[in-house]
Amino acid sequence: MSSRQQTTEGGRALEASVGTVLGGRYRVLRTLGSGGMAVVYKAEDSILGRTVALKTLHARYAEMPAFRRRFRQEARAMASLDHQNIVKVYDISHDGEVPFIVAECVSGRDVGSLLAERHGRLSEQTTRRIATQLLEGLAYAHRRGIIHRDIKPSNILMTPGGMVKVADFGIARIVEDEDSMEPGEVIGSARYMSPEQLRGKEATERSDIYSVGIVLYHLLAGRPPFSGDLESLARQQIRETPKPLRKVNKKVSPSMEAVIMKALEKNPEDRYPSATAMLDDLEEGYSARVAGGTKEVAKKSRRARVRLVALTSLAAVILGAGTAVGATGLGYVSPGGEGSSGGVERANVVSNAPAPEAPESAANENREARVVGEMVPVPEVSPYFDYSAEEILKNRGFDVRIVYEYREGYADRGVAWGTEPAAGELAPEGSVVTVYATPKDLFQPQISQ
């Protein structure tokens, strides 16, 4: 049977024990968890025969009009959402005077539990999969005017198959409802909360984006960027710049670091304008990494073939065939295919007569080719930090010069915003690429080598 407590306002608070039937159809199986203002039960729907999750207010909050209003608001917000990456609401019911939400019961675990299992840190690949689905769910909610306001690891659920579902829109707010928040009211988890929320200002889509940035930082670094008591957390979230992610975990790619650090800008206007924009950058950064890796493999293969040609030519000269044999050998050495064996036979019958002297212009062209190197595309390095941009360019075989200039829309802490030649243009390997980056008005520590 259900156990109810009388509240100071005359309302009733729902506290269900195992076996209790709520709303005439939902039999409580066990308690799944308890949050800051609500308790969640696992239950069986006796009519449809499916397992569901029931959520209702804690007894100590049931008598408070503000919390009851927020709870009803949550029910309306969640019921309007129908997306694979958001926990689905089936029904809004009540037992006596006490309302409760009937929602999808997700088998699996939350990301907080996954972090504990993986010793506090996830791989970039796993983090990227979580981030992609999290942002897709948030983008859907944001398009419908719903802000989550409390993104944190325990509100991100994962099924055994790897599907991510955003849970607990319990402090979500319909943006158009101007009267639903008290002035200066702060709700949520300070460790993952945006600076504007901690100041008591209205939360927006960009507030959720900041919280996503904190969560992703936590997943890759093994800890959130800020810690401490509520007062200390608020001060750090509002004033302090997070340590660059790759300073904490060098295995993180520059593109992932750039996405997360942009999401963590203090000024909402400097963050991504939408979850979709952040998702686009996340996917573009991954595509660029894959393409860059493929190009690097191809470049190494080309270099290997060039070395093979040079070594074969040198061997021919050492064996006494002279300059002509060296020149002929270069024309017939091949990684394989037709003409390979013919090249060997022809080399054996070349005369020992000295080869005609190459024209001076041809010699100059050869020297110039050796200095310039092959043409390779300049990679995109915006909006990476200057040291990451330099690393990427050097790995592609370029020399790097960095020029610091202010640029609107880019934080003043060494963020690359352009190159000369521009990204995508072909430039000789070994040539100088100029990187334009914002001045470091905000302290930006470098990665130790």
CATH 1.10.510.10 residue ranges for the chain = 109-273
Radius of gyration of the chain measured on its C-alpha atoms: 31
Domain covering 375-437: architecture: 2-Layer Sandwich (3.30)
For the chain, where do the domains classified as CATH 3.30.10.20 start and end? 375-437
Q: Among 23-32, 286-295, 374-383, where is mean pLDDT lowest? A: 286-295
* The pLDDT of residue 126 is above 90: yes
Task: Give the residue ranges of the annotated binding site for ATP.
Answer: 55
Other beta carbons less than 10 A from residue 233's beta carbon: 19
Residues labelled catalytic = 150
CATH 2.60.40.1260 given to domain 3-104: no
Task: Give 287-301 pLDDT, tens digit per residue.
Answer: 665 555 444 434 444
pTM (2 decimals)?
A: 0.62
Backbone dihedral angles phi then psi of residue 158, each to the nearest 5 degrees: -130, 130
Please state, in angstroms and rounded to a whole number, the distance separating the CA atoms of residues 272 and 258: 12
Residue 287, pLDDT score: 65
Percent over 70 (pLDDT), the chain: 68
Phi, psi of 124 (to 5 degrees): -65, -35
Q: 114-118, 215-219, 354-358: lowest mean pLDDT where?
A: 354-358
pLDDT tier at 97 (50, 70, 90 boundaries)? low
Q: What pLDDT shows up at residue 62?
A: 66
315: alpha, beta or left? (left if phi > 0; alpha if psi -120 to 50) = alpha
Q: Which of 152-161, 190-199, 331-340 has the lowest mean pLDDT?
A: 331-340
> How many angstroms separate the Cα of 208 from the Cα of each of 74, 149, 151?
16, 6, 7
Sheet strand arrangement including 38-45: 21-22, 26-34, 38-45, 51-57, 98-104, 89-95
Residues of the chain with CATH 3.30.200.20: 3-104
Q: Are strands 89-95 and 51-57 parallel, antiparallel or unpaired?
A: unpaired
Concatenated DSSP letters of 90-111? EEEEEETTEEEEEEE---SEEH
| CATH no., domain 109-273 | 1.10.510.10
For residue 433, pLDDT over 60 is answered with yes
Look-up of token digits 């060494």: 414
